[in-house]
Structure 1
Amino acid sequence: MTSRLTKTVAATLATAALLAYPASAFAAVTHPASSLAAVRQPADAFAAVSDPAHSTVLGIRGAVVSATPIAHLTAAQLDAAAAAFPGAPRASYGVTAYRLIYRTIDHDGRPTTASGIVVLPDGRRGALTVVEYLHGTNATKAYAASVDDASTDRLVTALFAGQGLVGVAPDYLGLGLGPGRHPYVDTKTETTASADLLLAARTFAARYGVALKRDVLVTGFSQGGRASLAFGRALSRGEVGPFRLGEIRAVAGPYDLLGAELPAAWDGRVLPATATFYLAYFVTSWNRTVGLYDDPREAFRAPYATTVEGLFDGTHTDEEIVAGLPDSPEKLFTPEFAERLQHPSGRFLRALRAADRVCEDWTPRVPVRLYSGTGDTDVVAANADSCASSLVARGADVTVHSMGAVDHAGTAFAAYPQIIRAYARWA
């Protein structure tokens, strides 16, 4: 579930600064003549949210609070940056990425804001197809695609736009410039944050002469792979304004928490240190949304009981978090709580079953393609097989694509060139 992909790819880029595009330099960039009019709009076109004229939309889900240009890449620069994804199709367009802050709701339905990115292909107007990309595990606000200039999540979204599509990628709640802590693996807010950014993107893109087509292509990696199923379900049920589901291509997602991923975290199929990171993030987050303990000492051994919640406040890097945790789940959790995690019951069991319904309580009417790796020791391939079996039993068109003996990040490196090429046919 981890977003190691972000920093792995960043390290391969010869010039990560290609993804950086200071707002102050925005007006000076030379664009193709066909797109010149669009970029002359002031960067703060949506920033004046305190204006009384905007007050009627401040509480509306999907309302745009602000929009800021954050990156511009030519087609040639996109191709150079895509070197980490061998086989990716060449870009047909340069792209411009914008950070949107928009209105959404939290786990309890209260108004809040979130950030995300919208990437437009330069020079294209009219009705365009959207690809919504949902990112993997990230415990650090500053690593989100909307703020991290070296973010691979930003790059992948831009690669779709380079094919002539509109790329949309939420940071989720509590990441990027969103307030508070991220509710990790929370189906409800992963879905609402994704839906509301799509609605905000529709409003924003219209300023540039772009209308978003009804059918939405959904993809995601790791945590985002699982979120793709939930978001696709919402689209298929007509819960996202005028939009509907066009297709799903999800990569290495933990779709079956109860039957596949949690058991693998304890039996060694997920590497112990990796499992410790995920479980710590998962438990501290679900304690806020589900309620798993009243006092950290009920769940965590000393000395971690006094420190583990603070590690996931959004300000710590992966390296800092790992350094603050032991190297196995058994060393982190009390024996009693470890038993609860391995044999869930009561409220916890009900919450897990509800989360796993992303593959169980709906029947997609469009193709679903799941990608997994047999060498994945973060999210075991059994997750994809379980999800596919459940959906096929309901009559869905589902195919599992094995990327071979590759690890978690390797699964994404192998899958995304195929996904970009497949979705490019919708441009």
Structure 2
Amino acid sequence: MKKTCFLILLLIHSLSRTDAQTLVSDTLLGGKTSGELIAQFNFPFIQYGVNYYRITYTTQNVHGVTDTVSGLVVIPADTSKMYPRLVYTHGFASLKLDVPSFNVTQNGGEGSIGLLFGGLGFISLLPDYLGMGLGKGFHPAFHAASEALTSADMLRALKQFAALHNVHFNNQLFITGYSEGGHASMALHQLIQTRLSGEFAVTAATHLSGPYSMGEVMRQWTLNDSINNNVAWIPLTVLSYQEAYGNIYTNLSEVFKAPYFTPIGQYLSGMIDAGQMGSQLATLLITIEGSIRPFRMLQPAFQQAVLADPNHPYNIDLKRNNTYNWVPLAPMRIYYCSADEVIPYQNGVLALDTMIALGATNVSGSDVNSGAGHLDCVTPALTNTVFFFLPLRQIDTYVSTTEQQQIPILMEPNPAHQSVTLSHLNANGHVSIVDLNGQLMYNEDLHLDQITIDLSGFENGVFVIRYLSNGKTWQGKLVHYGF
């Protein structure tokens, strides 16, 4: 008993010393059978029941300070399989709790998208974002770096969650997201390819109706005197980028005229939500200007400076949150609807054209419903996503250690520090070691009855060792610690 407790404590310690282990808590919210999911979505391709959890995990806020955020994890209920991972990033939510981990089963709740993908055999991760759900403070909407990091850190937290809940995943990773989530999913995809390729590899991605071109398409669409019912866009981006970079204003009244800065300031302080802010601003514009022309909320000096100076801080901030100027390597699809009144479809067109011009070879996109507005575009965009992902999805059978011990292998020590020894091997066999991301760490054919493996190049954490010989298999979990 003492040895078991020691091993558990050592495992927890070794996990906590890696930057990949960021889980704080998990709470089982519920479960659904495959039949219930088929009835809910009217989609006969669903194969699995699911269990779904709210987790909290650590990430960094826009100032690089450790923060705790929440998200939804949906797990296929059949634990005999190894599933691919899928990240879905949600659209902008006016209410702090209108996020996946708090809005799972309600009609229209984006958490239900996690249930759909879980039923299709994906371990689905849906981050709530900074400042949303159980997150503290202000949500920096359309801030690419924090959108991407909260998603990447949720993938890291999954490893510890999986170890605690007998969940198994392979090395496949799918990414998708809608609206603000399309911006976030593109940012995550780019982050993984350009900076985290040693940790994750994207299998395929779709980005749906997102504002990828903040500095061109969205700027042109909002910074003019036309009628635009998306009245909250300018305040949201000004406030978000001021929070992230601190370079736009000293006082809110430098940007917004009275009385518009009053509800904007109330939203910033948390007194009202984004929906209430937008409603109050629309009422004020109709009363004062006769129509909803958000550009008229801005101070004339700010208007002139932003329009005349491409190096104005607001223009710079918009451009630094573009997410399309790169060359994706994994298969990517961009789906949009040309009648979208919230996020202009030209975002998708510009992203596609730019990526292809830069040399991307497996990128395409389409107008999935030319007559659909922003809300009505969700279903065709997700439907196309499902049928793009399903042929690429791999689900493997997981065989537990006890089921695989047909060969009486001895592995010691475990936990291990500098090396681990396998003995009682057959004359001819093969040993492989993978980490919890599925990355191959060791791979050797053997002709000995014993081998000692050097672990000096291994990070702290849990690894899976597999030995194959004469049609029989042994598999075990190895804990490596470097302290």
TM superposition score normalised by structure 1: 0.80
**SS of 2:229 mapped into structure 1:** helix
Shift of 1:367: 1.3
- Look up the match of 2:465: none
Residue 281, structure 1, aligned to residue 245, structure 2: no
After TM superposition, give the deviation of residue 364 of structure 1 in Å: 1.3
Give 1:310's match in structure 2, choosing from 251, 255, 266. 266
- Aligned position for 2:384: 418
Distance, in Å, in 1 between the alignment partners of 2:206 and 2:349 is 14
Return 5+ residue gaps in structure 2 as ranges. Answer: 1-11, 283-291, 395-483
Cα offsets for 1:113-169 (capped at 9, x unmatched): 111111001113342101100111123211111123426211111101101111111
Deviation of 1:395 after TM superposition, in Å, equals 1.5
For the pair 1:367 / 2:367, whether they are aligned, the reply is: no
User: Do 2:225 and 2:294's aligned partners in 1 also have CA atoms closer than 8 Å?
Assistant: no
Distance in 2 (alpha carbons) for counterparts of 1:210 and 1:120: 8
Partner of 2:129: 172
Q: Is the 8 A contact 2:238 2:314 kept in 1?
A: no
* Higher RCO, Cα 8 Å, sep 6+: 1
| 2:369 is equivalent to residue 406 of structure 1 | no
1:402-425 per-position Cα deviation (integer Å, ceiling 9, x unaligned): 022211111111111221233233
After TM superposition, list the pairs within 5 Å mapping 1:22-41 onto structure 2: none
Aligned to 2:31: 72
The farther-off stretch of 160-169 and 203-212 is 203-212
Residue identity matched to 1:306:
T
Q: Which residue of 1 aligns with 2:202?
A: 245
**In 2: Cα distance, 1:161 partner to 1:321 partner:** 35
Q: Tell me which residue corresponds to 2:7.
A: none
The structure carrying a bigger helix percent of its residues is 1
Alignment of 1:23-422 (within 5 A): 57=16, 60=19, 62-82=21-41, 88-149=43-104, 150=106, 152-239=109-196, 242-267=199-224, 272-274=228-230, 276-290=231-245, 291-313=247-269, 316-326=272-282, 327-343=292-308, 344-356=310-322, 358-360=323-325, 362-396=326-360, 397-403=362-368, 404-422=370-388
* CA positional deviation for 1:312: 4.4
Query: C-alpha offsets along residues 191-233 of structure 1, whole Å, 9 cap, x if unaligned?
Result: 1100000111122123333233223100000111111111111
1:333 partner amino acid: L
How many angstroms does 1:100 deviate by? 0.6
Q: Quote the Cα distance in structure 2 between the aligned partners of 1:227 and 1:333.
A: 27
Cα 1:116/1:240, change in 2 over 3 Å = farther
SS of structure 1 residue aligned to 2:182: helix
Could you list the per-position Cα deviations for residues 219-248 of structure 1 after superposition, in whole angstroms to 9, with x for gaps in the alignment?
A: 000111111111111222351763211111
The offset of 1:57, in angstroms, is: 3.2
Does the aligned pair in 1 maintain the 2:305–2:312 contact within 8 Å?
no
Contact 1:64/1:103 (8 A) holds in 2: yes
Alpha-carbon distance between aligned partners in 1 of 2:320 and 2:100, rounded to the nearest angstrom: 29
- Distance of aligned partners of 1:214 and 1:242 in 2 relative to their CA distance in 1, 3 Å threshold: farther
Q: 1:127 to 1:97 in 2, by over 3 A?
A: same
Alpha-carbon contact 1:94-1:122 (below 8 Å) kept: yes
Q: Equivalents in 2 of 1:62, 1:108: separation in Å?
A: 21
* Structure 1 gaps, min length 5: 1-52
Q: Partner letter of residue 129 of structure 1?
A: P
> Judging changes above 3 Å, is the alpha-carbon distance between structure 1 residues 340 and 408 closer, same or farther for their aligned structure 2 residues?
farther
Indicate the SS of the match to 1:172.
Answer: coil
Q: Larger Cα Rg: Structure 1 or Structure 2?
A: 2
Q: How many residues align?
A: 367
The answer for the alignment partner of 2:289 in structure 1 is none
CA contact (8 A) 1:312 1:321 kept: no
Shift of 1:379: 0.7
Once residues 420 and 318 of structure 1 are traced to their aligned partners in structure 2, the CA distance between those partners, rounded to angstroms, is: 31
Q: Which residue of 2 aligns with 1:22?
A: none
| TM, length-normalised to structure 2 | 0.71
Sequence identity (%): 26
Please report the RMSD computed on the Cα atoms of aligned residues, expressed in angstroms: 2.4
Code of the residue aligned with 1:378 in structure 2: it is: V
CA separation of 1:339/1:146 partners in 2, compared to 1, >3 Å: closer, same or farther? farther
SS of residue matched to 1:184:
coil
